Amino acid sequence: MLKWGVLGTGEVAFDVAYAINFVPNNAVKGVASRKSENAKWFVENFKDAKAFESFDALINDPDIDIIYVATPNSTHADMMRKCIAAGKHILCEKPFCLHEGEGLEIKKMANNANLFCMEALWTRFIPATQQVINKVKNGKIGQLRFVKGSFGHIFNKSRCFDKDLGGGVLFDLGMYLISLSYPILGMPDDYKFAPSYGSSKVDEQASFTFSYKSGIIASFQCSFLNDLENTLEFYGDSGILKLGPPFYRTSQISFDAQHSPTGEHQKEKRKNPYGYPGPMRQAPYFKERLKPLLPSKTKVSNVPFKGNGYHYEIEEVYNCIQSGKIESDILPLDQSIKVVEIMNKLYKSEPVV
Ligand SMILES: NC(=O)c1ccc[n+]([C@@H]2O[C@H](COP(=O)([O-])OP(=O)(O)OC[C@H]3O[C@@H](n4cnc5c(N)ncnc54)[C@H](OP(=O)(O)O)[C@@H]3O)[C@@H](O)[C@H]2O)c1
């Protein structure tokens, strides 16, 4: 039995604690918060779990094997340092930390102490997401040309708008798009960031673009102020793969081989040096141009999805610890740290006005 301690009693702590108890041989045994009444309320929903008076008391309890860190972004690094000092394995909420330097320090500490450590970027472990990442890497859509994605929901949570707690839409939502495409794209060669700051002084919505020497462009949007399309799409020279909506919690994969640059319907056009079959105002041209907008040729497949979706990352943690691994092959710490580095490069790339 893997005995879990949960730091924080917020929204995601509750969902992940539920997922921990959903996975056989895993159980929430302790919960801590700044306010003990919150921890007491929390454990009413988790039989066998004890409410602790402080974060330190839970971290140092000898009966706990692993700590799930679910406190605000700015607290992650310090919480992890304490967990490692107490000899605890770690699952830490996203983003792993705020600065790549502290991420590297924590990786070194955890590795040296032979403790398991992973970022809780749950979407990376969802079967549909894994399938799409693997299909793109294995050439299902041919040569990758373009990636686009968006993540936006109306948020009013105070920590998201508090710079001191590591708030901002890039670190909260934009990072999912970066993390999911990182295993395919790696580090960008150029960065463009167009944020909009609210009265809170954090980025509340943003558009950002990465370019790569290979010619690939990746273009993303994220927002606390609007619900966006919430899909993630990979465009190759022989097909398009799309996750979602919503991409972050999906069983749905769409595949379209028809409308790619080398797809069947393009072959005729290629014979024509002007790229279209007649004068621009002729109906067939417009019909041809509209084809990519029509869903009829798109194959939609459903990859079964169980539970509330968070248990896939818990299964990964459990399997790794059982087999003596200190990092996940699916989401190694280097990748979590690179995602933090990319976000900081975006902030730095912003022109000073
Ligand atoms: N994986 C996901 O799907 C997902 C979704 C949402 C958020 N997250 C991540 O999970 C973390 C928590 O997010 P949330 O939305 O659950 O936040 P939340 O609902 O605001 O809860 C935050 C928790 O942290 C505690 N806390 C607040 N300020 C603190 C501070 N200064 N020092 C220590 N503890 C503090 C609060 O404790 P009290 O009880 O003492 O007030 C509360 O229990 C963030 O890092 C976020 O990025 C992940």
Low-confidence winner among 25-29, 122-126, 288-292 (lowest mean pLDDT): 288-292
Distance 71 CA to ligand 1 centre (A): 4
Residue 47: predicted pLDDT:
84
Residue 305: predicted pLDDT:
81
Q: What is the mean pLDDT of the chain?
A: 91
Name the percent of the chain lying above pLDDT 90: 83
Distance 13 CA to ligand 1 centre (A): 7
Low-confidence winner among 61-65, 178-182, 256-260, 306-310 (lowest mean pLDDT): 256-260
User: Looking at the domain 2-123, which fold is it?
Assistant: Rossmann fold (3.40.50)
For a mutational test of ligand 1's pocket, the pick from 15, 71, 151, 161, i.e. the residue with the most ligand atoms closer than 8 A to its C-beta, is 71
For a mutational test of ligand 1's pocket, the pick from 34, 40, 83, i.e. the residue with the most ligand atoms closer than 8 A to its C-beta, is 34
Is the pLDDT assigned to residue 45 strictly greater than 80? yes
Low-confidence winner among 96-100, 129-133, 150-154, 250-254 (lowest mean pLDDT): 250-254
Contacts of 201 (CB under 8 A, 6+ apart): 163
94 lines ligand 1 (CB under 6 A): yes
CATH 3.40.50.720 residue spans of the chain: 2-123
CATH 3.30.360.10 residue spans of the chain: 127-258+298-304
| Rounded Cα distance, 321 and 70, in Å | 20
Residue 307: predicted pLDDT:
87
Residue 296: predicted pLDDT:
52
Residue 273: predicted pLDDT:
46
What mean pLDDT do residues 111-122 have?
98
- Largest Cα separation within the chain, whole Å, is 77
18, with CB counted inside 10 A (0-12, 13-18, 19+), is middle
**If you take atom 36 of ligand 1, which residue's CA is the nearest one?**
8
| Rounded Cα distance, 168 and 147, in Å | 23
Q: Which CATH superfamily is domain 127-258+298-304 in?
A: Dihydrodipicolinate Reductase; domain 2 (3.30.360.10)
Residue 258: predicted pLDDT:
61
For residue 332, cis peptide bond before it (omega within 30 degrees of 0)? no
Contacts of 198 (CB under 8 A, 6+ apart): 161, 204
Backbone angles phi, psi at 352, to 5 degrees: -80, 125
For a mutational test of ligand 1's pocket, the pick from 14, 159, 343, i.e. the residue with the most ligand atoms closer than 8 A to its C-beta, is 159
**If you take atom 28 of ligand 1, which residue's CA is the nearest one?**
72
